[in-house]
Structure 1
Amino acid sequence: MDWDKLRIFHAVAEAGSFTHAGEVLNLSQSAVSRQISALEESLKVSLFHRHARGLILTEQGELLFRTAHDVFAKLAMAEAMLADTKDKPRGELRVTTTVSFGMLWLTPRIKEFSDLYPDIRVHLILDDDELDLGMREADIAIRFRAPVQADLVQRRLVQVTNHLYAAPTYLKRFGAPKNIDDLDNHAILAYGAAVPQPLADVNWLLAKATDPQRPRKPVFTVNNIYALMLAVESGLGIAALPDYVARGNTKLTQVLPDSAGPTFDTYFVYPEELRDTKRIAVFRDFMLRKVAEWGF
């Protein structure tokens, strides 16, 4: 099987079209199409169903794609491990975490890491859905729950706490709540999506109503913590926010500081086969140092 054709097939399967794959590979659409046709002819099977809106893998194509994806992932890992044999940590480092944590806490600290390790190129992938580390969609994940896969190394990173926050403009207009029951008389903002454990209590504020049988109804919901913070900043209402989102934000004021929400642990996670790579080790140590300095 021709490696060049297999590489092009893998890119086409991921992109879903000859045109997009060509842009990734710096080849023309016609050149990509010819290579795929030649691969299909040599294998004597059809790898794609061709439609006006794109390409769909056939059953045989799915089989080849899974195998090719595994091969290229192992090659990428071998390349990374070879790079780690040099004296200084170097190479690509793909880190994934949630949108809010990545935007508000992690990104502002990447420059310091890059200054310390200029030969490591960090690619930060922000996604509230968990990427598959086993399939090498990322090298490191900072997750808000313990991983369940047995082949992942995990290190407890920090415990996150939630408190109530409002904008000074809201408090000036409506006053500050005097106790948790007084929140029945205020506009409550909430996270508006189904979330997995242990984040399922993210809307604990709604359940803490005077009458437990009649939970509070939010005036606004949004399925992103960063957007929820912006809504609070605008003066729309009061919301429970993780402290890493709100601490140091002069546009927010903590209310009812004795009323903290549930706490949950975050984890630094990476595949077992990357355990001894220098890039992983220096980034892990950097993160542990930064969370200790910040004082979660």
Structure 2
Amino acid sequence: MDWDKLRIFHAVADAGSLTHAGDTLHLSQSAVSRQIRALEEGLNTTLFHRHARGLILTEQGELLFDATKHMSKRLDAAAARIRDSEEEVFGELRVTTTIGFGSLWLAPRLPALYEKYPDLKIDLMLEERLLDLPMREADVAIRMKEPSQADLIRRRLMTINMRLYATPRYLALHGMPLTLEDFGTHRLISQNATSAQVSAGAILVRELMAHTIGSRLTVNNYFGVLQAVIHDLGIGVLPDYLTQDFPDLVRVLPNVQSAEVPVFLAYPEELRQSKRVEVFRDFVSEEVIAYRRRQRDSDAEPVI
């Protein structure tokens, strides 16, 4: 059915007059009459009884008017939600990032976002594969390299380094290595060479493997590496952003670390005006600022 004809029918049924409906729609009476006749012909039915005092809906007209009233209410509600969305945040936001960053840094911080915007629905997609943002496989991405796809708005959030960590219990049992040569009596835990990972981390692991390693465990993501480390299995190659949420981890060989890895947030240009994207972007940026501040304060603490 023609939406324009239905709109005109609804105005006529509501006003009970072709003239009054025409005034509301800024159309002539003859133009309104032609649209009503065309709608009746298309439906093969009579929608109005015409008499000197105006128009009265037929039974079929009442059925159609009931439907257009529901349509009008739903359209008005949708328009109100669209207007309200300038102030309110609701609906689904699809966020993609790596398994390690998503599970170990982002997810633990999301309760604060949901507390502020309880109607927001986040679909958190954790995988190493790069999703196509311009093709809308996701709305927002947080990645450990600058996105190369065109038509993306991008923001550099922070830089991270891969470092060596172990638990106090593991070090109490096996001793603190003082040089890379001491790894002959330790177990190294890292991502495996075939898993998707940042090149800086892979380079660091290759450098470590150039030395004699007593034992080794490889996992295909940093979440698994962390689980092995906190259960006292060995010395792990882990991103430094973990230290604030896992303060008991002890850094091993402080002079050994990867090159800096940039962390970028990106989203399609077409979502520039999205309120959901805006509040998520600002939330992550604020959390990064707080993280950096705590990191600086921690680094400034005197060593006792």
TM-score normalised by the shorter chain: which range applies?
0.5 to 0.7
Which residue identity does 2:237 align to in structure 1?
Answer: A
From the superposition, tell whether residues 206 and 124 of structure 1 become closer, same or farther in structure 2 (CA, over 3 Å).
closer
Tell me the alpha carbon deviations over residues 83-108 of structure 1, each in whole angstroms, 9 at most, x when there is no partner: 77543233211111111211111112
Query: What residue is the counterpart of 2:241 in the other structure?
Result: 244
Question: Could you say what secondary structure the match of 2:259 adopts?
Answer: coil
- Residue number among 231, 234, 249 corresponding to 1:234 in the alignment: 231
RMSD: 2.6
- Point out the more displaced range, 174-183 or 220-229: 174-183
Q: Percent identity?
A: 39
From the superposition, tell whether residues 261 and 107 of structure 1 become closer, same or farther in structure 2 (CA, over 3 Å).
same
Across the two proteins, how many residue pairs are aligned to each other? 214
Query: What residue is the counterpart of 2:207 in the other structure?
Result: 208
Query: What residue is the counterpart of 1:219 in the other structure?
Result: 216
Counterparts of residues 1-150 of structure 1 (less than 5 Å)? 82=82, 86-150=86-150
Query: What residue is the counterpart of 1:192 in the other structure?
Result: 192
Distance in 2 between the 1:220 and 1:171 partners?
17
Query: What residue is the counterpart of 2:274 in the other structure?
Result: 277
Question: Could you say what secondary structure the match of 2:190 adopts?
Answer: strand
> Unaligned 5+ residue runs, structure 2?
1-78, 296-304
> Unaligned 5+ residue runs, structure 1?
1-78
TM-score computed with the length of structure 1 as normaliser: 0.65
Checking the alignment, whether the CA contact within 8 Å between 2:146 and 2:264 is kept in structure 1 is: yes
Distance in 1 between the 2:205 and 2:213 partners?
5
Question: Could you say what secondary structure the match of 1:88 adopts?
Answer: coil
Question: Could you say what secondary structure the match of 1:259 adopts?
Answer: strand
From the superposition, tell whether residues 218 and 205 of structure 1 become closer, same or farther in structure 2 (CA, over 3 Å).
farther
Distance in 2 between the 1:233 and 1:253 partners?
11
Checking the alignment, whether the CA contact within 8 Å between 1:99 and 1:226 is kept in structure 2 is: yes
From the superposition, tell whether residues 280 and 243 of structure 1 become closer, same or farther in structure 2 (CA, over 3 Å).
same
- Residue number among 257, 262, 268 corresponding to 1:260 in the alignment: 257
Which residue identity does 2:126 align to in structure 1?
Answer: L
Tell me the alpha carbon deviations over residues 146-203 of structure 1, each in whole angstroms, 9 at most, x when there is no partner: 1111121111111112221112222112100012332244221221143567x12314
Checking the alignment, whether the CA contact within 8 Å between 1:189 and 1:239 is kept in structure 2 is: yes
Larger-Rg structure: 2
Once the two structures are TM-superposed, the CA of residue 215 in structure 1 deviates from its matched residue by 7.2
- Point out the more displaced range, 268-277 or 111-120: 111-120
Distance in 2 between the 1:216 and 1:110 partners?
38
Tell me the alpha carbon deviations over residues 11-64 of structure 1, each in whole angstroms, 9 at most, x when there is no partner: xxxxxxxxxxxxxxxxxxxxxxxxxxxxxxxxxxxxxxxxxxxxxxxxxxxxxx
1:153 and 2:134 aligned: no
Checking the alignment, whether the CA contact within 8 Å between 2:167 and 2:248 is kept in structure 1 is: yes
Which residue identity does 2:190 align to in structure 1?
Answer: A
Query: What residue is the counterpart of 2:16 in the other structure?
Result: none
Checking the alignment, whether the CA contact within 8 Å between 1:177 and 1:256 is kept in structure 2 is: yes
Distance in 2 between the 1:292 and 1:243 partners?
15
From the superposition, tell whether residues 217 and 262 of structure 1 become closer, same or farther in structure 2 (CA, over 3 Å).
farther
Query: What residue is the counterpart of 1:183 in the other structure?
Result: 183
Tell me the alpha carbon deviations over residues 186-244 of structure 1, each in whole angstroms, 9 at most, x when there is no partner: 221221143567x12314444335x95x6758611110110011111222211210012
Distance in 2 between the 1:215 and 1:133 partners?
43
Which residue identity does 1:293 align to in structure 2?
Answer: A
Distance in 1 between the 2:151 and 2:214 partners?
42
Which residue identity does 1:202 align to in structure 2?
Answer: G
